[in-house]
Amino acid sequence: MTSTDNFITGVEDIPIETPIQASALPSCCSCYSRLCCCSCSYTVPTLKDLWNRDKRLLRSILVIVVLLNIPIGQYILYPFMIFSTWIHESFHGLAAISVGGGIEWLNIYSDGSGLASTYTNGSSFQRGWVASAGYQSTAVVGGIMLMFRRSNFACRVGTCGIGFGILLSVILFIRNSFGLIMMAFMGSILVLAGWCLPQFWVGELYALLAATTCLNAVTSIRVLFSPAGMVNGVVTAGSDANTMKEVSKVIPSWAWATIWMLLAFYMTTIGICFTIETKENNTQAQEQFRAEEMTELT
């Protein structure tokens, strides 16, 4: 599916950090974290600690598990699958732009697949750079989104920012009918939700977006281990992994698929274990910690 000057990439087929209980918060701890530079000793967190500290993510995981096991669940999760496809195709385009090329069009299809038509000067490095960007970027974006799940400010800004990014891609690049309608609708919903919803619901929506992106980053790669895939209902032998095989001339397509899957697991782990919080969130966490300590002492 490639040529020296113009090629299509991005075949996207269907497919804890916690508060620690201690007798008191030591005066040497200016942060509210297990990763402390001093010699303070902490006890192992309880299930209650885990829930209180990361209940936003745990609720999202619970929702996903339930939806994956009920008949109507696939329809509720459908927009999140389309969102992951949009990330995949968009980063093919951004990768082309980063090496002096550009985007001709992006197509998002109703079966969850997508195509990105990009152009570069046709060098092997640039072909490989563009082809590898889709699956890698979906994993990286999902992990980074997870890292900001505890920040109320980041959740609101992130939700609105993603919505505006989708709308911008609709105006500039998306050209098929389904993609135009679906992505315009999703972008508008995310902007309105991020702007108007109470903080609780914005955080829940953002965490669910992050969790499903990480999930799709892992599950969507399984099609690369098959000899052929489906794009918009049409069987195709081309894939990002096959392009990387052609470029490298040595590494087989299944090896590239394995590397991308391991990256998806790695970024998901990083997103879960390392979080970025605003000063407001840290202050609230410390107040809650001290209140619980006072309750236990009394």
Residue-wise pLDDT tens digits, 1-11: 433 345 455 55
Average pLDDT for 236-255? 87
> Which range among 40-49, 124-133, 150-159 shows the weakest confidence by mean pLDDT?
40-49
Average pLDDT for 177-194? 97
> Which range among 63-77, 155-169, 251-265, 271-285 shows the weakest confidence by mean pLDDT?
271-285
> Which range among 50-59, 105-114, 152-161, 213-222 shows the weakest confidence by mean pLDDT?
50-59
Using CA atoms, how far apart are residues 73 and 193, in angstroms rounded to an integer? 21
> Which range among 19-33, 42-56, 115-129, 230-244 shows the weakest confidence by mean pLDDT?
19-33
What amino acid is encoded at 163 in this protein? G
> Is the pLDDT score of 17 beyond 80?
no
Using CA atoms, how far apart are residues 157 and 159, in angstroms rounded to an integer? 6
Q: Break the chain down into helix, strand, coil percent, rounded to 5.
A: 65, 10, 30
> Which range among 35-39, 40-44, 111-115, 225-229 shows the weakest confidence by mean pLDDT?
35-39
Among 134, 112, 178, smallest CA distance to 1 is for: 134
Q: Read off the pLDDT band of 35 (50, 70, 90).
A: very low
Q: What are phi and psi of 214, to 5 degrees?
A: -65, -40
Which residues fall within 8 angstroms of residue 153, CB to CB, at 6 or more apart? 278, 280
Which sign, positive or negative, has the C-alpha torsion 235, 238, 241, 245?
positive
> Is the pLDDT score of 177 beyond 60?
yes
Using CA atoms, how far apart are residues 146 and 271, in angstroms rounded to an integer? 5
pLDDT of residue 225: 82
Contact 267, 214 (CB under 8 A): yes
Q: What are phi and psi of 179, to 5 degrees?
A: -60, -45
- Cα three-residue angle 83-87-89, rounded to 5 degrees: 115
pLDDT of residue 45: 58
> Which range among 16-20, 42-46, 152-156 shows the weakest confidence by mean pLDDT?
16-20
Residue 98 CB burial class (10 angstroms; 0-12, 13-18, ≥19): middle
Could you tell me which residue, 252 or 278, shows the higher pLDDT? 252
Using CA atoms, how far apart are residues 290 and 138, in angstroms rounded to an integer? 39
Q: Read off the pLDDT band of 276 (50, 70, 90).
A: confident
Using CA atoms, how far apart are residues 139 and 88, in angstroms rounded to an integer? 9
CA 227 from chain centre, in angstroms, equals 26
Q: Output the average pLDDT for the chain.
A: 81
Residue-wise pLDDT tens digits, 88-147: 999 999 999 999 999 999 999 999 999 999 999 878 899 999 999 999 999 999 999 999
Alpha helices in 152-278 (DSSP H): 152-172, 177-196, 199-219, 240-248, 253-273
Strand, coil or helix: what is 114?
strand
Strand, coil or helix: what is 105?
strand
